[in-house]
Structure formats: C-alpha cells, structure tokens
Amino acid sequence: MKKLWQHWPRVLTLAVLGMMALPFSALAAEPTAKEALFVANNTWMLVATFLVFIMHLGFATLESGLTRSKNTVNILFKNVAIVAIGLLTYAAVGFNLMYPGDGHWIAGKWLGFSGFGISAPDGDAGLIGYADGQYTYWTDFIFQGMFAATAATIVSGAVAERVKLNSFLLFSTVFVGLVYPFVGSWKWGAGWLDDLGFYDFAGSTLVHSVGGWGALAGVIVLGPRIGKYVKGVSNAIPGHSMPLATIGVFLLWLGWFGFNGGSVLSADPGPVSLVFVTTTLAAAAGIIGAMVTSDVIQKKPDLSMVLNGSLAGLVGITAGADTVSVLSSVIIGGIAGVLVVVSVIFIDSKLQLDDPVGALSVHLVCGIWGTLAVGIFSTNPDHTFIRQLIGVIAYGAVCFPAAFAIFSVIKSTMGLRVSEKEEYQGLDIGEHGMEAYAGFQIFTNE
C-alpha cells in the first residue's frame, strides 16, 4: 500500500496541467472560433513575412554569383544595408505614406500621409479588430515592410560593379523611403488606381516594375562597366559563381511562397493553396520557356538564363496569382521565360545597356508582362487590359523620371561612379578595404 507522499508524480502532473490552463483564462472561458481563426491567420502572415525576408539572402547570393569576385564584398554590403534602410524608412515614413487611410489624403487620392512613425491602435483595434481578424497592426507593418526592402534591392544588381557605395545608399533611401510608398498608395493604399479597378495581387507592378524602373534609370545614368562595350561590340563579363547564383534563385523561389501566399492577407486555405500552385507552376514554366529559348538562340542552354527564367515566371505570375486559372499560370510563366531570354539579349546587345544580373529583364519587362497578363487571363471580368495598361504607364511615368532625377542629382553632386582605377582593382578594395575571398586567387582574365 503506497504512502500518501509516494503519489507525488501524479500530483506533480496534475499541477503542471492545471498551470498550463492558466493563460487561457485570460481569454473568454473558451476561445471563440473567430479568435482561433485570427491566430491561424496572423501566424500564417508572420510565416509569410519571414519567407519574404529570406529573399534578401537570395538576392545577395544571386547578385554575388553573377558578378566578379573582386566586387563581392560590395554587393553583399549593399544587400545587407538595404534591408536596414528599407525597414527603418518604412517605419519612419513609408508605412503611413503607403497606407494613409481615409481622412489622410492630401492631394486627390494619389498622395496621402498619416504621420511619422508607427504605433498600434489601442486594444482590439490593433489586434483582432484591425483587419477583420486577418492580422494585427504590427503584422501588417512588418509584412509590408519586407516588401519595401525587396523593391529597393532590385536596383542593386543592375548598378553593380561600378556604382559608388554611398551614392547608391543615398539613392535607395530616397527611392524606397519616398517613391515606393508614394506610388504604392495608388493601389494597395486604396488610392486612385484602386478606384479605377487596376489589379496587382502581390506586386508585379508595385514592387517589381518600380524596382525595375529604378534600375533602368540607374543603368542609363551610370553607364556600362569598363570593357563591356568595345567598338560597338558587347563583351561577356561572366559571373564568378554559378553555384551561388543557383542558391540565390532557389532562396528567392522559397521566399515567393510567402510573397504571393501572404498577399492573400489571411490563411484562407482555398486562395492560399491556389496561389501556391499558380506561383510554383509559373516558375516551372518560366524555367522551361527560358531553357528552350536559350537553347534555340544560344545553341547551348545557358544556366544563368534558366535561372533568370524561373524568376521571370515568378514575377510574371505575381500580379494575378489568385485570379488566373492554373493553365493560365503556366502560359504566363512560359511566356515570361521566353521574354526574359529575348530581352536580356536585346537590352545587352541592341540597346547596349549594361545590366550584370538581368534585373531589367526579370523585374521590369516581366513585371509589366505579368501586370498586363492579368488583363488577358484573369477570371474576374473587372480586370481589363486597358485598366492594367493605365497602371503600367502611370507607374512608369512617375518612377522612371523620379529615379532618373535622383541619380542625376547624385551624379552631379557627390558623383555616382567609382574611379577607373578602383573599377579595375575591384570595389572590395576600393570601397571596403577588404577582400571577399582572402587567401584565394580568383582573377579576372579573358
């Protein structure tokens, strides 16, 4: 017969279980279905947030792989700095510029601002009441903040290997701090384009083409890398690491599950799972489209083109991932894959604009294609080609001149480009005084 004190394991277990019930006593006696859904929704949105975050690692490795090893520290540095700049400016200014909310519009419904800094509304208004049980105020901020930082980093690849670090950081601060949220308010902030019926599910226009227009302005104002165009002929400047580039693309694809999946703005199983499928199939179709095109044009399939192809498919589907059929997503992705190969060659050799990583082709060209494709393929009859075209033109008409102006001002004041000597020696030594591969001998020879 056990003594009383020998029952201690049972007592301990009961006590622990009893204590676990304590937190739930803070809610209503039983959580309601609405509260439980809120937790599920918000949790998915936070998962999507850090998936978008990992895209920065994707950008960093992709850009490093497609450029020369003597500039790798500089590329990595820019990518790290942009995350910081993007998120901090979004907290200071960007979030409230992009989502002014009713009553805070200043000029028509294309410029609004609801104040500096971020602060959650009190009580339920910042939690379950903030977005109808889909996510909290803080989730909204950090999820959208990750998008802003992504738009900024698109430019860094196109201007790589010859832009001055401080000049680029200054450009990024202004562009992502002010231009991105300003034009973003037109659609996602419930501005005039939203009223017009323009549709951009996850940012083919608002993120990718905005970054693309900035990149285009940068490439034009900056000029090509030394030795890229000699006597009218385009020279190849190969990237130093295809493995890094491939790692980057797969990380970006992984992030896209959050980029598109989170843009459903809830954990609603139907839309989120559909978006996962359309997004992934578009990427796969982009790879095949690029593979075939590259094989036909270049005679041998080019890995860097195929990598760009998957991103092209992803960018292309981003405008309409939740509103096109699965077959349409394959078509959109496949065409994007073809477009990216053709446009890389056209931009590099015909237009003679030096874009080391193909950012213009992936983000600008396919961003525009993805946006217009919504007008062609959407199952929603309110999405028309004309409305999509108006949006594309509106963004181009503001983002490109704005970026061009910022770059030009920087060029004529602090200078935009490194010296010729520094460009030969490598920006790692010139801008940072260190090497990415200390101890290795990786040279640039032809």
Q: How many CB atoms lie within 10 A of CB 114?
A: 16
The distance of closest approach from Cβ of residue 71 to other proteins in the complex, given in angstroms and rounded to an integer, is: 14
Q: Which residue has the tokens 């950008």?
A: 59
Of 419, 429, 431, 436, the one binding other proteins (CB under 8 A) is 429
Of 30, 122, 382, 446, the one binding other proteins (CB under 8 A) is 446
Number of residues forming the site for other proteins (CB under 8 A): 13
Beta bridge partners of 112: 105
The distance of closest approach from Cβ of residue 31 to other proteins in the complex, given in angstroms and rounded to an integer, is: 50
Cα–Cα distance, 249 to 259 (Å, whole number): 14
SS3 of 324-379: CCHHHHHHHHHHHHHHHHHHHHHHHHHCCCCCCCCHHHHHHHHHHHHHHHHHHHCC
Query: Does 327 contact other proteins by CB under 8 A?
Result: no
The distance of closest approach from Cβ of residue 81 to other proteins in the complex, given in angstroms and rounded to an integer, is: 18
For other proteins, which is the closer residue by CB, 115 or 227? 227
The DSSP bridge pattern shows strands 111-112 and 105-107 to be antiparallel
Query: Does 424 contact other proteins by CB under 8 A?
Result: yes
Query: Does 435 contact other proteins by CB under 8 A?
Result: yes
Query: Does 444 contact other proteins by CB under 8 A?
Result: yes
Q: Which stretch binds other proteins (CB under 8 A): 128-136, 152-160, 275-283, 433-441?
A: 433-441
Contact assessment for residue 340 and residue 361, using Cβ atoms and an 8 Å cutoff: yes
Q: How many CB atoms lie within 10 A of CB 173?
A: 18
Contact assessment for residue 209 and residue 126, using Cβ atoms and an 8 Å cutoff: no
Query: Does 443 contact other proteins by CB under 8 A?
Result: yes
Query: Does 5 contact other proteins by CB under 8 A?
Result: no
Query: Does 8 contact other proteins by CB under 8 A?
Result: no
Cα–Cα distance, 164 to 85 (Å, whole number): 17
Q: Which stretch binds other proteins (CB under 8 A): 27-35, 39-47, 354-362, 431-439?
A: 431-439
Q: Give the tokens for residue 235.
A: 């020279």
Of 121, 227, 269, 401, the one binding other proteins (CB under 8 A) is 227
Query: Does 196 contact other proteins by CB under 8 A?
Result: no
What phi-psi label fits residue 32: left (phi over 0), alpha (psi between -120 and 50 degrees) or beta? beta
Query: Does 238 contact other proteins by CB under 8 A?
Result: no
Query: Does 441 contact other proteins by CB under 8 A?
Result: yes
> Which residue ranges make up the site for other proteins (CB under 8 A)?
227, 424-425, 429, 433-435, 438, 441, 443-446
